[in-house]
A and B are shown apart, each in its own frame.
Chain A
């Protein structure tokens, strides 16, 4: 017993009373300290809970309340008959919030055992991670989860911190390839787009992963998008949303109704029979685009949730250029399709008259020059070629003569009046302007002065002349409307508001001149000597048209174009422009078939099929509305 006994010698010296007093006084001091410490604590809580209450109450609220953006539903896109062309489909997306995932690699590995995660999904996911993101923004890993996969994730949720299954509306294009170039597609917002956002746009897209990339989806992005909403949600410390406290609903984007007609579009695609090229059909009265085909095409749905590297590579490196929208980006020599325009211009300026005839030996020779400018017909069109015959048989020599006498300074304004060399202004982005040469242009670009030979080439739509199929369509509609030009439009209604097109100057010419040229164009299709007589067979209506053949490679002086010796890709492009019916033009069509060789045989039947379908559709619509009127369905 070390302690009690050690000091027994002194035990007798203990003074019980003093000792008791001493210990009791120390206990009293202890009690005083207790009172003091409680006072300190109470003051501390008074400080925190009463004096600084507001500060901490606010802090607690900002802990638990998050403001989340509520993305609006994107507007739908319909064709002119109300057929759905772009819709939003509910889809379950698996996404990961990196900030909430303790071990990303482990989580990904665990997920790979629960759902199918392909290499593309992973590489897209990492790409998404690397991009600048808003903090706590989820990055999608897999789209279109199946019911089974959702269930498997739900069961294992406890082990998957930071993993979310979000119900999202994902853009879907039910007709796939059919409208890919026109409607375009939406895709993941990329870094460049994110960087270009201002404050307002940043807020706007805060709840959205996608944005319109090309086509109508891009051009009408603002209208389709709508207005973002927001909600105040209560979250716990792990970021899981527990309930919604307050919500400002988003306003959905506006629906678009197009001029396009799905049946017409299908007809045109079918008529292309897998050949490369473009078809543009325009409503003459309005400039509305009824069909817009660029072949080959691609499935826009591939791009919506991020296209795989393999798929993209295939599309991008294909020699057929499926990603190119040929209708507005393909630039072709328009060839002889410009001849009716020069005809009207020639008559109107008095350079030629209906009575004016030339001798065509199969070539044209400028004064003081030995060079022969060849007609496409080896021995010419005869000694008495007038304008009508020159259009019907597409006589080059006649227009060589016309161009020399008209000169580039009058040819250029003529083409410009019909929209050549200038973007048509159609409501699809990334349109190209083609090329409509002039003296100034040649000086600026080529550094050379204009030669008479250049005018000759220009008159048959060759040389430096380039035009997009859309420009040819607009030009054709302009001829059909006797000089009244419209800016082409794909979208007819945004919401319930009709789109407006800026007015354009009308090309003025006398009626008799129009009658003359249009009648010649009619004969191109409907006369035995017409270059497009092949497409007149059994037609219930009359068309006015003009074929064109555009050289891809130059042919040497005196050489003869021999198709067997020319590589397929170097064969001539086939073109055809037409409108119908002649007496009251409704539709104007421009067809380009790459390496199709002859506008007459390759391109003109495509236009004919488009017209056939259009008039059949019109008849149907007529019958239907008459029926409805009879039943009193329409007010």
Chain B
């Protein structure tokens, strides 16, 4: 299967006999035009909303433009990688990521009581972002090397290396990222054909165990924290304030919205975190439900295209990887919008491609780079 000494950068298809038609320009540069179109659309839409949400800050928009430039460059670069190489070194990515996570807990820096960053002097970065990609890559590599559907022992091993970094991330603490990392791994496990009986069994066990846990194991303060997490509106001046204000912003937008830069909730500072986690509320207030639907169509288009690429991929590794990247993206979208609109408890998950922030954007774009690489992977003559 794997030829030793192969370059990690793929050779350009030289003979053309792998493809039915002549090599298109997109194939040559290893990009998927439809996926790229969707991403560009969301990026531009996001910048428009960000300008309003940041209080008309050209500085922030320019900064976000720089992040986008870096992100697209990273995507383009990764798209050129040979997936074989990535598959082969997946465990090492994972290992490096986990070691860095441990380092974060020891010598990390951070703000607001959370320790999430590693400082290299000139640049700071969040090792947890590495795991967002390393975990699904690892899961895909692990299962593509095994007979599917997976055996029970393999499932246990996989769950072990999914949860280990997640626990480290929770300790920082960063619940949002931990959820995303876990989700990306579990989705990979699901795509690898995790038997339904395991899934159903786990759900039943959790449901049954939660009752005695709640009544006999948990302390009152722990219960209180869970309750606040589940029903933030009970705490009107604390975490409830955010959710009340964001629901007010969304609801008062109505069908047509109040107009760009005319949202009262966002422009008058009633909406907290308006340019980061709660940016969808700005969009919903100013562009109304029409604007929300446009955004969702954009996301839906990207995810559908990504899943299509996954389904059409050449190898099991690629299928699982592309599938878990795209479905994790969906988790991003759903958790963020769900929490801002009051469906889900508040965990710090940004709205992908729209919220201000460089680190998460770049790790997202790296993921799309992998999907792009999968989309244009050379069809190999298999044995």
- For the complex, give the distance between the alpha carbons of A58 and B70 in Å: 43
Cβ–Cβ contact A37 & B334, under 8 A? yes
A23-B319, A38-B296 are known contacts. Are A45 and B250 too (CB-CB below 8 A)?
Answer: yes
Q: Which residues of chain A are within 8 angstroms of B264 by Cβ–Cβ distance? A: 60-61, 63-64, 234
Query: Closest CB of chain B to A296's CB: distance in Å?
Result: 55
Within 8 A of B (CB), among A268-308: none
Within 8 A of A (CB), among B184-236: 187, 190-193
Query: Closest CB of chain A to B312's CB: distance in Å?
Result: 9
A30 partner, pick from B250, B289, B327, beta carbons under 8 A: B327
Q: Which residues of chain B are within 8 angstroms of A18 by Cβ–Cβ distance? A: 148
Query: Closest CB of chain B to A382's CB: distance in Å?
Result: 93
Query: Closest CB of chain A to B356's CB: distance in Å?
Result: 19
Q: Which residues of chain B are within 8 angstroms of A63 by Cβ–Cβ distance? A: 245, 248, 264-265, 268, 270
Within 8 A of B (CB), among A224-261: 234-238, 242
Cβ–Cβ contact A56 & B268, under 8 A? no
- For the complex, give the distance between the alpha carbons of A38 and B138 in Å: 28
Cβ–Cβ contact B252 & A27, under 8 A? no
Cβ–Cβ contact B187 & A30, under 8 A? yes
Task: Choose among B1, B323, B382 the residue with the greatest number of A CB atoms under 10 Å from its CB.
Answer: B323
Cβ–Cβ contact A26 & B323, under 8 A? yes
A23-B320, A37-B334, A45-B289 are known contacts. Are A4 and B250 too (CB-CB below 8 A)?
Answer: no
- For the complex, give the distance between the alpha carbons of A528 and B248 in Å: 94
**Is A202 engaged at the interface, CB distance under 8 Å to the other chain?**
no
Cβ–Cβ contact A242 & B268, under 8 A? yes
Within 8 A of A (CB), among B84-100: 87-88, 90-91
B289 partner, pick from A20, A34, A49, A55, beta carbons under 8 A: A49
B311 partner, pick from A24, A40, A52, A234, beta carbons under 8 A: A24
For A25, the closest partner residue in chain B by CB is B193
Pick the 4 closest A-B CB pairs, nearest first. A56-B251, A60-B252, A237-B269, A236-B268
**Is A3 engaged at the interface, CB distance under 8 Å to the other chain?**
yes
- Show 10 residue pairs from A and B whose CB-CB distance is below 8 angstroms, ordered by the A residue: A1-B91, A19-B316, A40-B334, A42-B296, A56-B247, A56-B249, A63-B268, A63-B270, A64-B270, A234-B264
Cβ–Cβ contact A45 & B341, under 8 A? yes
A26-B191, A27-B319 are known contacts. Are A11 and B252 too (CB-CB below 8 A)?
Answer: no
Q: Which residues of chain A are within 8 angstroms of B316 by Cβ–Cβ distance? A: 16, 19-20, 23
Q: Per-position contact with A for B133-152: 1 when CB-CB < 8 Å, else 0?
A: 00000100110011111000
- For the complex, give the distance between the alpha carbons of A548 and B330 in Å: 103
Q: Per-position contact with B for A6-42: 1 when CB-CB < 8 Å, else 0?
A: 1110110110101110111011111101100110111
Query: Closest CB of chain B to A437's CB: distance in Å?
Result: 67
A4-B145, A30-B327, A45-B289 are known contacts. Are A60 and B248 too (CB-CB below 8 A)?
Answer: yes
**Is A447 engaged at the interface, CB distance under 8 Å to the other chain?**
no
B323 partner, pick from A27, A56, A60, A237, beta carbons under 8 A: A27
**Is A2 engaged at the interface, CB distance under 8 Å to the other chain?**
yes
Q: Which residues of chain B are within 8 angstroms of A56 by Cβ–Cβ distance? A: 247-252
Q: Which residues of chain A are within 8 angstroms of B2 by Cβ–Cβ distance? A: 4
B149 partner, pick from A6, A22, A44, beta carbons under 8 A: A22
**Is A59 engaged at the interface, CB distance under 8 Å to the other chain?**
yes
Q: Which residues of chain A are within 8 angstroms of B178 by Cβ–Cβ distance? A: none
Q: Which residues of chain A are within 8 angstroms of B145 by Cβ–Cβ distance? A: 3-8, 11
Cβ–Cβ contact B343 & A34, under 8 A? no
**Is B125 engaged at the interface, CB distance under 8 Å to the other chain?**
no
Query: Closest CB of chain A to B287's CB: distance in Å?
Result: 11
Q: Which residues of chain B are within 8 angstroms of A31 by Cβ–Cβ distance? A: 304, 307
Q: Which residues of chain A are within 8 angstroms of B253 by Cβ–Cβ distance? A: 49
A4-B145, A40-B343, A49-B253 are known contacts. Are A27 and B191 too (CB-CB below 8 A)?
Answer: yes
**Is B254 engaged at the interface, CB distance under 8 Å to the other chain?**
yes
For A63, the closest partner residue in chain B by CB is B270
A34-B307, A41-B296, A42-B293 are known contacts. Are A22 and B148 too (CB-CB below 8 A)?
Answer: yes
Cβ–Cβ contact A23 & B323, under 8 A? yes
Cβ–Cβ contact A26 & B193, under 8 A? yes
Task: Choose among A5, A10, A28, A30 the residue with the greatest number of B CB atoms under 10 Å from its CB.
Answer: A30
- Besides A23-B316, A50-B255, 15 more A-B contacts (Cβ < 8 Å) are A1-B91, A2-B91, A3-B91, A14-B148, A18-B148, A23-B193, A34-B330, A37-B330, A41-B296, A45-B341, A48-B247, A49-B284, A57-B254, A64-B264, A236-B269
Number of A-B pairs, beta carbon distance below 8 Å = 170
Q: Which residues of chain A are within 8 angstroms of B193 by Cβ–Cβ distance? A: 19, 22-23, 26
Cβ–Cβ contact B141 & A3, under 8 A? yes
- For the complex, give the distance between the alpha carbons of A37 and B300 in Å: 10
- For the complex, give the distance between the alpha carbons of A335 and B147 in Å: 126
For A238, the closest partner residue in chain B by CB is B269
Q: Which residues of chain A are within 8 angstroms of B299 by Cβ–Cβ distance? A: 38
- For the complex, give the distance between the alpha carbons of A633 and B17 in Å: 114
A30-B323, A49-B253 are known contacts. Are A19 and B248 too (CB-CB below 8 A)?
Answer: no
**Is A309 engaged at the interface, CB distance under 8 Å to the other chain?**
no
- For the complex, give the distance between the alpha carbons of A257 and B264 in Å: 49
Query: Closest CB of chain A to B300's CB: distance in Å?
Result: 6
Cβ–Cβ contact A41 & B334, under 8 A? yes
Q: Which residues of chain A are within 8 angstroms of B303 by Cβ–Cβ distance? A: 34
- Chain A interface secondary structure, helix, strand, loop or mixed? helix
**Is B71 engaged at the interface, CB distance under 8 Å to the other chain?**
no
Query: Closest CB of chain B to A306's CB: distance in Å?
Result: 33
B255 partner, pick from A6, A49, A59, beta carbons under 8 A: A49
Cβ–Cβ contact B249 & A60, under 8 A? yes
**Is A379 engaged at the interface, CB distance under 8 Å to the other chain?**
no
Cβ–Cβ contact A23 & B292, under 8 A? no
- For the complex, give the distance between the alpha carbons of A26 and B249 in Å: 37
**Is A53 engaged at the interface, CB distance under 8 Å to the other chain?**
yes
Query: Closest CB of chain A to B367's CB: distance in Å?
Result: 15
Query: Closest CB of chain A to B117's CB: distance in Å?
Result: 27
Q: Which residues of chain A are within 8 angstroms of B91 by Cβ–Cβ distance? A: 1-3
**Is B338 engaged at the interface, CB distance under 8 Å to the other chain?**
yes
Query: Closest CB of chain A to B137's CB: distance in Å?
Result: 10
Cβ–Cβ contact B138 & A41, under 8 A? no
Task: Choose among B145, B284, B300 the residue with the greatest number of A CB atoms under 10 Å from its CB.
Answer: B145
- For the complex, give the distance between the alpha carbons of A234 and B265 in Å: 11
Q: Per-position contact with B for A581-606: 1 when CB-CB < 8 Å, else 0?
A: 00000000000000000000000000
**Is B345 engaged at the interface, CB distance under 8 Å to the other chain?**
no
For A8, the closest partner residue in chain B by CB is B145
Q: Which residues of chain B are within 8 angstroms of A4 by Cβ–Cβ distance? A: 2, 87-88, 141, 145
Q: Which residues of chain A are within 8 angstroms of B147 by Cβ–Cβ distance? A: 7, 10, 13-14
**Is A46 engaged at the interface, CB distance under 8 Å to the other chain?**
yes
Query: Closest CB of chain B to A14's CB: distance in Å?
Result: 6
Query: Closest CB of chain A to B70's CB: distance in Å?
Result: 28
- For the complex, give the distance between the alpha carbons of A24 and B293 in Å: 28
Query: Closest CB of chain B to A632's CB: distance in Å?
Result: 61
Cβ–Cβ contact B146 & A38, under 8 A? no
Q: Which residues of chain A are within 8 angstroms of B254 by Cβ–Cβ distance? A: 49-50, 53, 57
- For the complex, give the distance between the alpha carbons of A23 and B141 in Å: 14
Cβ–Cβ contact A19 & B87, under 8 A? no
Q: Which residues of chain A are within 8 angstroms of B337 by Cβ–Cβ distance? A: 41
Q: Which residues of chain B are within 8 angstroms of A3 by Cβ–Cβ distance? A: 90-91, 138, 141-142, 145
Query: Closest CB of chain B to A22's CB: distance in Å?
Result: 4
For A4, the closest partner residue in chain B by CB is B145
Query: Closest CB of chain A to B19's CB: distance in Å?
Result: 20
Cβ–Cβ contact A237 & B334, under 8 A? no
- For the complex, give the distance between the alpha carbons of A343 and B148 in Å: 131
- For the complex, give the distance between the alpha carbons of A7 and B191 in Å: 19
B251 partner, pick from A11, A27, A52, beta carbons under 8 A: A52
- For the complex, give the distance between the alpha carbons of A41 and B320 in Å: 26
Q: Which residues of chain A are within 8 angstroms of B268 by Cβ–Cβ distance? A: 63-64, 234-237, 242
**Is B130 engaged at the interface, CB distance under 8 Å to the other chain?**
no
Task: Choose among B87, B251, B307 the residue with the greatest number of A CB atoms under 10 Å from its CB.
Answer: B251
B148 partner, pick from A23, A34, A38, A61, beta carbons under 8 A: A23
Query: Closest CB of chain A to B133's CB: distance in Å?
Result: 16
Query: Closest CB of chain A to B294's CB: distance in Å?
Result: 12
A26 partner, pick from B190, B334, B338, B382, beta carbons under 8 A: B190
